[in-house]
Amino acid sequence: MKVVRILALAATVGMAPVQADTFFGVHAGYDSWQASTQGGFANSQQLQDFSFRDKNQQGYYLAFEHLVPVLPNLRVQWQNLQSQGHTELNNSFSFGGATFAAGTALSTELDFRYTDYVLYYELLDNSLLQLDLGLVAKKLSGELTIMAANRQASQSVRQWLPLLYLDSRLGLPGSGLELFANGQASQFSGNHWYDLQAGVAYQLVDSLTLDVRLKLGYRWLDLQLDDIDDLYAGITFSGIFAGIAIHF
């Protein structure tokens, strides 16, 4: 948010004590996350575990920030959660209207997508410490498909989930480095969604009109769905990610 420094200074005189550095700014970013996947799913509380493959997950975001104290800032982010897995059934398993006998070799495809709409306030915004707090409306959609030699079955999910949002950054003066940690969390009616990440960022470009940061960190996402569109699931994604963040 460094496009109009003079206008920003004039606009913030007499306003809140926590000041941003411009009147309006745009943030954009991309993350590549090498995630391992563990867990299982079912149409009942008796989950069937699968051995999932590691897969690279892609995520993007856009954020719009301003200096109007009473209005929240907006962040929109998109994330894919995909994997393939397999198992051999010890007991019969019913899913998506089909029943598979014990001893059946199953493969599965997990294809989740979500869009987050985040409204947040900048509680602190300076070169040493930044702290954002807000609320998330998560639009989750996707499919789980299982396949045997002679049949397949699938289950779709489409649901809105509410979450809390926290983002923090700690600058290391004179180094071009900063530490960051952020997350989302929600727990309700037997469901939960925890998404936490932390790491280090390097300021590659720091100019009046453009900032560019390179990020490296670790991310852990744990979800539990309890009868969401007839789907029960307990799945964890975790691993190292790298990304880029651009600030206009």
> Is residue 59 pLDDT above 70, yes or no?
yes
* Enclosing H/E stretch for 108: strand 105-125
Across 152-178, average pLDDT: 96
21-35, 67-81, 114-128, 132-146: which range is least confident on average?
Answer: 21-35
Average pLDDT value over all residues in the chain: 91
> Is residue 5 pLDDT above 80, yes or no?
no
- Dist. CA 94–CA 213, nearest whole Å: 48
Percent share of the chain, pLDDT over 90: 85
Residue-level pLDDT at 3? 39
CB 96 within 8 A of CB 155: yes
Token pair for 83 = 């994997």
Question: Would you place residue 150 in the very low, low, confident or very high pLDDT band (cuts 50, 70, 90)?
Answer: confident
> Of residues 3 and 27, which shows the higher confidence score?
27
Question: Would you place residue 23 in the very low, low, confident or very high pLDDT band (cuts 50, 70, 90)?
Answer: confident
CATH number of the 5-247 domain? 2.40.128.90
Residue 11 has what DSSP assignment?
Answer: H
CB atoms within 10 A of CB 175: 9
- Dist. CA 17–CA 33, nearest whole Å: 37
CB 114 within 8 A of CB 163: no
> Is residue 129 pLDDT above 70, yes or no?
yes
Place of tokens 């989930």: 161
Length of the chain: 248
> Is residue 9 pLDDT above 70, yes or no?
no
Residue-level pLDDT at 82? 97
> Of residues 244 and 10, which shows the higher confidence score?
244
Domain boundaries, the chain: 5-247
Interval 181-237: pLDDT, tens: 999 999 999 999 999 999 999 999 999 889 999 999 999 999 999 999 999 999 999
Across 24-38, average pLDDT: 97
- Dist. CA 22–CA 4, nearest whole Å: 6
Q: 226-237: b or e for each residue (b if 16 or more CB lie within 10 Å)?
A: eebeebbbbbbb
> Is residue 1 pLDDT above 90, yes or no?
no
Residue-level pLDDT at 22? 61
> Is residue 10 pLDDT above 90, yes or no?
no
- Dist. CA 199–CA 238, nearest whole Å: 14
CA distances from 224 to 45, 55, 187 (A): 11, 20, 9
Residue-level pLDDT at 247? 94
> Is residue 244 pLDDT above 90, yes or no?
yes
Backbone angles phi, psi at 155, to 5 degrees: -140, 130
CB 226 within 8 A of CB 15: no
CA distances from 157 to 76, 102, 105, 112, 233 (A): 21, 26, 24, 9, 11
Residue 53 has what DSSP assignment?
Answer: P
